[in-house]
Amino acid sequence: MSTRRRQIYEGKAKILYEGPEPGTLIQYFKDDATAFNAQKKGTINGKGVINNRISEYVFTRLAHIGIPTHFIRRLNMREQLVRQVEIIPLEVIVRNVAAGSLSKRLGIEEGEPLPHTLLEYSYKDDGLGDPFVSEEEIACFNWATHEEMQDMSSMAIRINDFLSGMFAAIGIRLVDFKLEFGRLWDGDYARVILADEISPDGCRLWDLATGEKLDKDRFRRDMGGEEEAYQEVARRLGLLQNDDGGPGEVFDLSAHRGRLRGKTKPKK
């Protein structure tokens, strides 16, 4: 990582640097872990390496089904090249199963399947604790237009359908996840595209057979085993080499902060 390039923004889990070409940024994944709007802070060794790889994989798969994204390509273990967008100040939360804040707010037992997929929106402001907002509030304060809301909600449903099937195929239940979108400007016209990342940081992922949590809830709830949980998701996606010498990249996360021990095997 060059120390000379200009930092654009630093968030809780990533740093954005000026990209090599106009309209691009370099997205760097940190090992920092936060919860409860940064009231709890810590480190999950190798998390940035795993999240970079998982997010690359997911965004690439989504592009194949026609979801426009900011992802261009992965540069190295912790960085990827992305398109520069104007972030819409909303998080779209997609819920399939009651968990987390939904269970607390409405008194629904965690793990209860929802009658249908639920979309919620929160206003991106750490100082306010990312409060939940209604579509009426979004329209009132012009955080997104009606057309942009339609684009985001329809993409969120398509992404959920695809990812639910993708994770179910590897024995993982997609409980809920958050998405962020941005405006990609072309002159006076802007289109909405998927931005940020999709990784165990922003998803609740439970083992289908056992219910074991394979996401950041292990950190939030002091359960331990965060590194192993993130690695397990990557392993099931085929991004870590199995003991039988399967495809993928080999990350020695337990030994030293996500150092690459092998090379990507050539695709057949």
Q: How many domains does the chain have?
A: 1
- In which element (H, E) is residue 220 found? helix 217-220
- Please check whether residue 116 lies inside any domain of the structure: yes
Rounded to whole angstroms, the Cα distance separating 47 from 52 reads 8
Distances (CA, A) of 159 to 55, 98, 129, 147, 208: 13, 19, 26, 18, 20
Residue 187 in any domain: the answer is: yes
Beta-sheet pairing, 32-35 with 40-43: antiparallel
5 falls within a domain: no
Amino acid at 110: E
pLDDT of residue 243: 45
pLDDT of residue 36: 80
Residue 133 belongs to a domain: yes
The two three-digit tokens of residue 86, written as one number: 């104007």
Q: Is 248 helix (H, G, I), strand (E, B) or coil?
A: coil
- Does residue 164 lie in a domain region? yes
168: domain CATH number is 3.30.470.20
pLDDT in tens, the chain (268 residues): 445 789 999 999 999 999 999 999 999 999 988 888 777 889 999 999 999 999 999 999 999 999 999 999 999 999 999 999 999 999 999 999 999 999 999 999 999 999 999 999 999 998 999 999 999 999 999 999 999 999 999 999 999 999 999 999 999 999 999 999 999 999 899 999 999 999 999 999 999 999 999 999 999 999 999 999 999 999 999 998 644 444 444 444 443 333 333 333 333 3
What is the residue type of 214? L
Provide the pLDDT for residue 5. Answer: 86
Residue 256 has a pLDDT of: 34
Torsions phi, psi for 74 (to 5 deg): -80, 135
CA 158 distance to own-chain centroid = 16
pLDDT at position 121: 98
Q: What is the pLDDT of residue 260?
A: 30
Which pTM does this prediction carry?
0.88
User: Are 32 and 46 a contacting pair, CB within 8 Å?
Assistant: no
169 in a structural domain: yes
Answer whether residue 216 is part of any domain. Answer: no
Burial 49-62 (b: 16+ CB within 10 A, else e): bbbbbbbbbbbeeb
- Tell whether 159 is covered by a domain: yes
Range of the domain at 93: 87-207
